Structure 1
Amino acid sequence: MCSGRKYPIIGAAALVASATSTPAIAQDWYVSGAATISVLDDPDSIIHNAPIPGATLYITNVLEDTGWGGQIAIGHRFGPVRIEAEVGRTRTDARRYVVTAPISNDLPQIGGDTVTRFMANAYFDVPLKGIGVKPYLGAGVGDATVHVTTKASRPFGPPTAPTQLIDDHVNGVAWQAMAGMAVPLSARFAVTAQYRYMSGGTLHGQDTRGQDFQTKIQGHNVDLGVRFSF
């Protein structure tokens, strides 16, 4: 189900490779890394043919308040514009899930969502002088691959021992929008802080019974990191 991932990766690689054809500004390369605090929306999911054939099960995975992760990137400056390729991952655990089909039930679970993204980003460094920081705006597009896991009692009937209900990798086209600032500590080194909204769109997979399900991954992120120019 992850075959679509290669296209955003190829696109990101092409953006970076194109910069190497301009040796006169090769000193404008940079690498960056950041730790991520992630606050995703609780994913609403649909599972077909559950709890019985012909029915539809509506699920909300109630995530913990914050998830954690990180990202690395390599990029190139063209004046105030930067183009980069980024790889990032975040993990957010879920402790319970709410089901409706048509009655509701609230059950504990072990599981969550691990989001791995491959993005091509473009940034604009706002040309402000004399303030000691360099603000910027950005946007990106690429691929999000999500490992969805849910281990819990069956949604209806007497309580049972937890069993694996969903364990699948699903992927789709992702986009993100960023706003942040860099604080230069030297001519080549800066610390960075940014807000990033990321959406992985609607993702399609299968539960452990082989039934189709769909879910949405989106939410807020704060990235705190460093950038080194060379």
Structure 2
Amino acid sequence: MKLRILLVVLMVAAFASSASAAAPGPYLGGSLGVSIVHDTDIHDPSGNATFEYDPGFAFNIAGGYNFEPGRLEAEFGYKNADVSRATVGALSGSVSGTDITVLSYMFNGYYDFKLSGTPVTPFVGAGLGILHGELDVQGSKGDDTVFGYQFMLGAGYKVNRNITLDLSYRFQGAASDFSESGTSFSYNSSNILFGMRYNF
């Protein structure tokens, strides 16, 4: 009986160890979730305004290489949110037919904190790249491309040798305002994403 218990314990320990160990190699991943765009300051020759947003939608696709415990990847992202309210001077009111869309092309680096005996792996990361932002104000569009950055914090759960699920918070910001034809607008967003990586 004691031998059986010992064998079961050893098998469970071996499974936990193999589940939490991510072998170095390439991977593909994707994530989707909620994008919370921070208030946007609009600067225009005719005056200034502030836009507030409803929670929006975000998704990313990425390909990278796991060096264990570090990862490097290239990522494409999409974020969209509707404007809910506009403030101009002392006047404020609800808005319809107005939204912001941001496409991101980023290079990211991650560090995974390996925890022995568990399939859960916390991680932190940062990225640099290019953001293309478009503000559509009731059919009148303005767009620009600027440098961007992001910071990531989350945890992965290794289902098996190939599949890792993760939940993360991501702050993304533009290094400078988007600007076109004398009108500029700022951009920052907080994003909560659920993702999956396939490790080859």
Could you say whether these structures have the same fold, taking a TM-score greater than 0.5 normalized by the shorter chain as the test? Answer: yes
The equivalent residue for 1:205 is: 179
Contact 2:124 2:154 in 1 (8 A): yes
Please tell me whether the aligned partners of residues 142 and 173 of structure 1 are also in contact (alpha carbons under 8 angstroms): yes
**Residue identity matched to 1:69:** A
Could you say which structure has the larger radius of gyration? 2
Partner residue, 1:219: 189
Q: Percentage identity across aligned positions?
A: 25
* 2:77 counterpart residue number: 88
- Considering only aligned residues, what root-mean-square deviation do their CA atoms show, in Å? 1.7
The residue identity in structure 2 corresponding to 1:172 is V
Please show how residues 1-230 of structure 1 align to structure 2 within 5 Å: 28-48=25-45, 50=46, 57-64=47-54, 66-100=55-89, 104-106=91-93, 108-151=95-138, 164=139, 166-206=140-180, 211-230=181-200
Q: CA deviation at 1:75?
A: 0.3
Number of residue pairs aligned between Structure 1 and Structure 2: 178
Q: Which amino acid aligns with 1:37?
A: V
Describe the superposition over 1:16-67 as per-residue Cα deviations: whole angstroms up to 9, x where unpaired.
xxxxxxxxxx96000000112111111011101x1xxxxxx11111211x11
The alignment partner of 1:128 has SS state of coil
- Render the CA deviation track for 1:69-117: whole Å, top value 9, x for unaligned: 21100000222110000001011001331112xx535363311101100
Show structure 1 runs of 4+ deviating over 4 A: none
CA distance in 1, matches of 2:197, 2:114: 18
Match of 1:186, SS state, is coil
CA distance in 1, matches of 2:149, 2:134: 18
- TM-score (normalizing by structure 1): 0.73
> Can you give the 5+ residue segments of structure 1 that lack an aligned partner in the other structure?
1-25, 51-56, 152-163
Question: In structure 1, how many angstroms separate the alpha carbons of the residues matched to 2:198 and 2:120?
Answer: 16
SS of the residue corresponding to residue 187 of structure 1 reads coil
Contact between 1:177 and 1:198, CA under 8 Å: does it hold in 2? yes
Q: How far has the Cα of 1:223 moved from its partner?
A: 1.1
Query: Distance between the aligned counterparts of 1:91 and 1:97, measured in 2?
Result: 17
